[in-house]
Amino acid sequence: MIYYLSQLVLDWVKDTSWEDPLSFLRLFRYITIRSAGAAITALVLSWWFGPKVIAWLKELRFGQHYADKAEETGLAARASLKRGTPTMGGILIVAVMDLTALLWAQWNVMVVLTLLSVIVLCGLGFFDDWTKITQQSSEGLAEHVKLWVQFGLAIFIAVYLWRVPETEKLISQVMVPFYKFPVAVGALGVGLGLALTVLTIVGSSNAVNLTDGLDGLAIGCTLIVSFVFVVLTYIAGNHRFATYLQVPYVEGAGELTVFCAAMIGAGLGFLWYNCHPAQVFMGDTGSLALGGALGIIAVLIHQPLVLVIAGGVFVIEALSVLIQRSYYKYTRMRYGEGRRVFLMAPLHHHFEKKGWHESQVVMRFFILGILCAVVALSTLKIR
């Protein structure tokens, strides 16, 4: 909105005495300026609305009063301290992020797709959190219900991108890190591209959701990946930089830089209240939306597999759950008794049960996240 207003004013004052005094409005044509404005705006709005949202959630008794999985499986001392802490804080992140992006970005198809997807996943997470609160249970919505909505959204995005001529290559040409040419094109590319798009969005949404279990962990790791995507989206949307670095150029992808900057600002503002000891949890309301946003952005810049590297912590957390469940079911079927690989899954709880303090787990996972981010950025030059 700010971009359109600034350009409208410049058109009005063209060839008048006001043209020179208002020439600074041309700065809003630059993605870098608008990205900086988005990050600062989102951070200030998060700081401003944060206490109000937390008080509102407490007043509505949207707190965690039930026993979560950590408490049910032997981490009662830690989990009991979190009883009553308001959840659904993802409302703050999503509202600030979307409002800021609308203010500072140009509204192209990619921005609109991302914003709408975030709202859908936020709504899904909200109903999941609402179910947990009203039933005072850690179960929430049935797993298959969440997966149906996530897959439905992901399939819609994949088919839409494939059927629109301007974005068809995002699906029909499959790109991999460290290689500058498509590894699959044509009919094979379409099949792989559609499957990869759906798996990226659904997998990313659920991976961030699984990582959300310790104060500041999920939002901190999301911030690290968002910094990576600020760089990648800017390069993908700049023809000169994309050509020089031999990465796919995607027209209009530069505006996703503004969205990523808004995500960083909103995330930093939320982390202010979510760091240990947390005053508010994001809940599925925030984690499903943020994970989905990262997956969608990775698809829109034609780099879905780079997210696997940049979001290495999310991948490890999700894999730990898949391994734990699969091994438990296999051993129960074969030996009549389920066995476990980890003391507890997701992986952050495994280290807690080994005696690591919550803050130690979070900080060490942040370090791993930064290492993954460095490797992901290195894909820009190693080709």
Q: What is the pLDDT of residue 17?
A: 84
- The partner residues of 86 in beta bridges, in order of sequence, read 63
Per-residue pLDDT, averaged over 60-71, amounts to 62
Give the mean pLDDT of the chain.
Answer: 92
Asked if residue 310 lies in contact with residue 228, where contact means CB atoms within 8 angstroms, the answer is yes
The 10s digit of each residue's pLDDT in 146-174 is 999 999 999 999 999 999 999 999 999 99
Residues 6+ apart with CB under 8 A from 7: 25, 28, 29
**What gap in Å lies between CA 195 and CA 155, rounded to an integer?**
9
CA dihedral 359, 295, 252, 219 (to 10 degrees): -20
CA 380 and chain centroid, separation: 21
Q: How confident is the model at residue 81 (pLDDT cuts 50, 70, 90)?
A: low
Q: Give Cα 5 distance to the centre of its chain.
A: 29
Enumerate residues 6+ apart whose C-beta is below 8 A from 121.
150, 153, 205, 288, 289, 291, 292, 293
Mean pLDDT, residues 226-237 taken together: 97
Alpha helix (H) ranges present in the chain?
2-13, 31-59, 69-72, 76-81, 90-104, 109-135, 143-163, 169-172, 186-211, 217-236, 239-245, 255-274, 283-300, 306-310, 312-335, 347-353, 358-378
Per-residue pLDDT reduced to its tens digit, 366-375: 999 999 999 9
Is pLDDT of 383 > 80?
no
The percent of residues in the chain predicted with pLDDT above 70, rounded, is 94
Which residues are CB-neighbours of 22 under 8 A, at least 6 positions away? 9, 10, 13
> For 301-319, what is each residue's pLDDT tens digit?
999 999 999 999 999 999 9
Choose among 236, 242, 208, 239: nearest CA to 301.
236
Checking if the pLDDT of 53 tops 70, the result is yes
Coil, helix or strand at residue 304: coil
- How far CA 35 is from CA of 12, 155, 225, 229, in Å, comes to 25, 30, 16, 12
Residue 168 phi, psi dihedral angles, 5° rounding: -60, -35
pLDDT at residue 191 above 70?
Answer: yes
Question: What number of other Cβ atoms are within 10 A of residue 358's Cβ?
Answer: 20
**More confident site: 7 or 125:** 125
Domain positions in the chain are 34-305
Q: What is the pLDDT of residues 118-138, one digit of tens each?
A: 999 999 999 999 998 888 767
3-class DSSP state of 8:
helix
Place of tokens 């952005």: 297
On the question of pLDDT at 79 being above 60, the answer is: no
Please list, in sequence order, all residues whose beta carbon lies within 8 angstroms of the beta carbon of residue 17, skipping any fewer than 6 positions away.
none
